[in-house]
Amino acid sequence: MNTTPSSTKPITPGRQAQAVLPVPDNRNSLALVLAGGGAAGNAWQLGLIAGVAEAGIDLSAADLLIGTSSGSTVAAQISSGISPAELYAAILSEPEHRPSSKLRPEQHRPGQHSAATAQAVQYMDWSAGIIAAAQDAADMRRRMGAAALGRDDSDGSLQLRWRSTVAARLPKQDWPLQAVLITAVNAQTGEPEVFDRNSGVELVDAVAASTSNGFGGSYRIGAKRYINGGYRRNENADLAAGHRRVLILSPFAGKSRTPSEWRMDLASQVEELLASGSRVQTVFPAVGAGDVFNASAADPATRQQAARGGYQQGLGLQQLIAEL
């Protein structure tokens, strides 16, 4: 487990980040930040949460859940009333996915063989060009939104299929009473969006918007169009400001595809939280989850290993979390 973000204020196991300012309204509140990470990231987070629960700490009862991309699915799943153990068991009972080699030779990378990975590689190349052309984060969001709008299907069939896929992943489709924030970006304006149960948006649609990468078009809610919440900020941990304790699960280990001066990276978010008075701990995948937190994370064949690795990792986090 790597618990040290790339920051001038690294956090190591057993060390608490010292508060700078008091947070009187949330003296011991816990915010759980669930970042994006594809099929593998979803499974790793669910496995880890189940392992931590087995060790005696129920992270699903956190005062605030913040979900981004596949992390938004995790937030909806663990707040549904279904136990972490049941969610973990469901992953282990999934049919085995055998990757098929559908990469073109020029796309082949070690360990990447599936059609899902091939599409992820194409998406990474497409989005990398947009990021490289942007002047700053706001410009990147506008460009990414415009590019997604240009790929929208005319009959809405892709949207319907994606909504059905997302709905099938959620044990319940009503917003929980628990505080849950789900991030997205308005494709038409480039403005960040944060959904909660008071937003007038159904939970399924909020998760579908947050997980929409834009490569297959934007996700429509009413007259608005949305793309992935990771374009707001990578983990969106800044939304936990005001909470005394912040635990961040980052499948991609705090890495960012954007320039550091844009401050979308995890290290910048941790720095801001520390300055606001929060104690912060980050958790990254351990070796047991597999070397799949790249384009291969989109491959469903990675899920069971990632979940098992997360579960074993979670069993050993009790003291670290208790000391947060």
Helix (H) or strand (E) holding 41: helix 38-54
Say what the pLDDT of residue 109 is: 45
Provide the 10 A C-beta neighbour count for residue 276: 18
Question: Looking at the domain assignment, is residue 206 inside a domain?
Answer: yes
Question: Looking at the domain assignment, is residue 100 inside a domain?
Answer: no
C-beta of residue 281 within 8 angstroms of C-beta of residue 247 = yes
Question: Looking at the domain assignment, is residue 108 inside a domain?
Answer: no
Q: What is the crossing angle of helices 84-92 and 70-78, to 10°?
A: 130
Give the residues of the chain that fall short of pLDDT 70: 1-27, 97-113
Question: Looking at the domain assignment, is residue 221 inside a domain?
Answer: yes
Question: Looking at the domain assignment, is residue 304 inside a domain?
Answer: yes
Question: Looking at the domain assignment, is residue 309 inside a domain?
Answer: yes
Per the DSSP assignment, residues forming a β-bridge with 55 are none
Say what the pLDDT of residue 62 is: 97
Say what the pLDDT of residue 27 is: 64
Say what the pLDDT of residue 96 is: 78
Say what the pLDDT of residue 97 is: 66
Cα separation, 215 vs 77, in Å, equals 25
Question: Looking at the domain assignment, is residue 97 inside a domain?
Answer: no
The number of folded domains in the chain is 1
Say what the pLDDT of residue 154 is: 85
Say what the pLDDT of residue 25 is: 53
Say what the pLDDT of residue 149 is: 97
Question: Looking at the domain assignment, is residue 104 inside a domain?
Answer: no
Domain extent for 272: 30-91+119-323
